[in-house]
């Protein structure tokens, strides 16, 4: 039923949470792949709007030095 969830492992389990069985309606983490992509775009827009030094700090700390938001089609350049 919830195989379209981004976290589904296809066997009624979850790749995101440490549960043995998909919680379906009760899962507050349920999100379709499309919703995940939309949320990621929103986050990338926020990250791209930060000053360059803050972007570097975040990329080093959380993205192994990569800035996936800089390659995104939804990027807005930072300006002061």
Distance CA(80)–CA(78), nearest Å, equals 7
- Same domain for 21 and 39, yes or no, is no
Which residues lie closer than 8 Å to 68 by C-beta, 6 or more apart?
44
- Same domain for 50 and 23, yes or no, is no
Q: What is the pLDDT of residue 1?
A: 47
Owning domain of residue 79: 35-80
Higher-scoring residue by pLDDT: 78, 54: 54
The answer to whether 33 and 4 are in contact (CB under 8 A) is yes
The answer to whether 40 and 67 are in contact (CB under 8 A) is no
- Same domain for 39 and 68, yes or no, is yes
Question: pTM of the prediction?
Answer: 0.68
- Same domain for 27 and 41, yes or no, is no
- Same domain for 25 and 44, yes or no, is no
Distance CA(1)–CA(28), nearest Å, equals 16
Query: How many domains, in total, are found in the chain?
Result: 2
Q: What is the pLDDT of residue 59?
A: 96
- Same domain for 9 and 24, yes or no, is yes
- Same domain for 79 and 42, yes or no, is yes
Q: Which residues pair with 8 in a beta bridge?
A: 14
């Amino acid at each position: 039923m919830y195989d379209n969830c981004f976290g589904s492992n296809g066997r009624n389990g979850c790749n995101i949470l440490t549960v043995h069985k998909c919680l379906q309606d009760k899962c507050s983490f349920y999100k379709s792949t499309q919703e995940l992509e939309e949320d990621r775009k929103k986050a990338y827009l926020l990250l791209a709007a930060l000053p360059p030094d803050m972007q570097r700090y975040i990329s080093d700390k959380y993205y192994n030095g990569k800035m996936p938001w800089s390659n995104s089609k939804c990027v807005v350049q930072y300006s002061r």
